[in-house]
Amino acid sequence: MYAFLIPLLKIVVVMAGLFGAVPVLVYFERRIAAFIQDRLGPNRVGPMGLFQPLADAIKMIFKEDIVPDHVDRVLYVLAPVLAFVPPALAFAVIPFGHPIRLLGDRIDLAIAPAGMGVLFLLAVGSTSVYGIAFGGWASNNKFSLLGGLRSSAQMISYEIPLVLALVAVLMTAGTLDLGRIVAQQAEFHLGILPAWNLFHQPIAFLIFFIAAFAETNRLPFDLPECEPELIGGYHTEYSSMKFAMFMMGEYVAMISMSALLVTFFLGGWSFPGIDPTSTALLSGIASVVAFAAKVAAVLFVFMWVRWTLPRFRYDQLMNLGWKVLIPLALLNIMATGVVGVA
């Protein structure tokens, strides 16, 4: 019974934190956008507009759910689910803290720690494109279809350099186990500089960081839903909670991608002062706080970039992926192999 309750508790806590973070991110994105663009932001519903996400949720729940007659109903309903679930599943293998000992048992602070966790992440991440592609196709609307096709081409194009960037990291780490990758980064060079893969693989970090924006359809790579050309893109025909699931899926994907960036390049849960060999409860809590703080910092950069840079043209987007990032990622892998052999 005890062995069953611990994984269940981890699932509940992680999913509650993940879904609870979405309305918080919506609020902070509005405040950050207002600050960057010299506007007020939400300031009416509750003190400092803190209840604005609650008002948005109530609006989405009670809005009329309009389903056009010309849609493919099965795929139309399935698309928001496919856009929402895969990013959430990524957290099944991401270690968000170092192992702790509780009631005499060692507990890994990951829902399902796996020796082949990277392969699971790549398999799950590759399915997220289906939600957006199905949404565009099932809507039976030319603007939605163009948005779905754009998104499919964009996500496939940028998934290649993203995976190639991870290949260089895996060559350096020598393992597919996310826990071991983080543990290696918990060490220090010269007793001062953290052994983060950011310093071992700066080019891979840059490639992964750029590809992460394209994979999550965030500005300056939000071509699948650009209003001047496609009205709303793949979700033009969606309303109520179906539209809300697309929006929540984007934020969950942003959280997942930030967590992966932290795990692979920024030391995961490790931080100066946290003993990676300790299994004490307080040390474990500190590692979770360190992980959450790093993810929050990356999320702030996501929002900062969105409200600072203009949208790319589609030809610029594809040229950057195929003519710059992929060759650069291949050269980085070659350099990593040469350095490793030397």
106-120, 175-189, 294-308: the lowest-pLDDT one: 106-120
Which one has a higher pLDDT value, 108 or 331? 331
Strand, coil or helix: 81: helix
Rounded to an integer, the average pLDDT of 223-238 is 68
Distance, in Å, from the CA atom of 77 to the CA atom of 305, rounded to the nearest integer, reads 32
Which residues lie below 8 Å from residue 239, measured CB to CB, with a gap of 6+? 63, 64, 65, 66
Q: Return mean pLDDT, the chain.
A: 85
| pLDDT value, residue 191 | 65
Q: Is 313 exposed, middle or buried (0-12, 13-18, 19+ CB in 10 A)?
A: exposed
- Taking only the tens place, the pLDDT of each residue in 68-80 is 888 888 888 888 8
Q: 100 φ, ψ to 5°?
A: -125, 165
Which one has a higher pLDDT value, 32 or 276? 32
| pLDDT value, residue 116 | 78
Per-range mean pLDDT, top range of 75-79, 100-104, 224-228 = 75-79
Tell me the CA distances in angstroms from 301 to 51, 210, 230, 257, 294, one per residue in order: 24, 12, 27, 12, 11
Which residues lie below 8 Å from residue 162, measured CB to CB, with a gap of 6+? 207, 208, 211, 212, 215
98 band by pLDDT with thresholds 50, 70 and 90: confident
- Residue 205: closest CA among 263, 146, 165, 247: 165
Distance, in Å, from the CA atom of 31 to the CA atom of 223, rounded to the nearest integer, reads 24
56-65, 224-233, 322-331: the lowest-pLDDT one: 224-233
- Taking only the tens place, the pLDDT of each residue in 114-158 is 777 788 888 888 888 888 888 888 888 877 888 778 888 888 889
| pLDDT value, residue 232 | 65
| pLDDT value, residue 37 | 87
Strand, coil or helix: 82: helix
Distance of CA 106 to the CA centre of its chain: 28
Inform me whether the pLDDT recorded for 331 exceeds 90: yes
Inform me whether the pLDDT recorded for 1 exceeds 60: no
Inform me whether the pLDDT recorded for 203 exceeds 90: yes
340 band by pLDDT with thresholds 50, 70 and 90: confident
Rounded to an integer, the average pLDDT of 153-174 is 89
**DSSP labels, 113-165:** --TTHHHHHHHHHTTHHHHHHHHHHHTT-HHHHHHHHHHHHHHHHHHHHHHHH
| pLDDT value, residue 225 | 64
| pLDDT value, residue 135 | 82
| pLDDT value, residue 190 | 67
- Residue 113: closest CA among 132, 139, 91, 82: 91
Strand, coil or helix: 101: strand
Q: 67 φ, ψ to 5°?
A: -115, 110
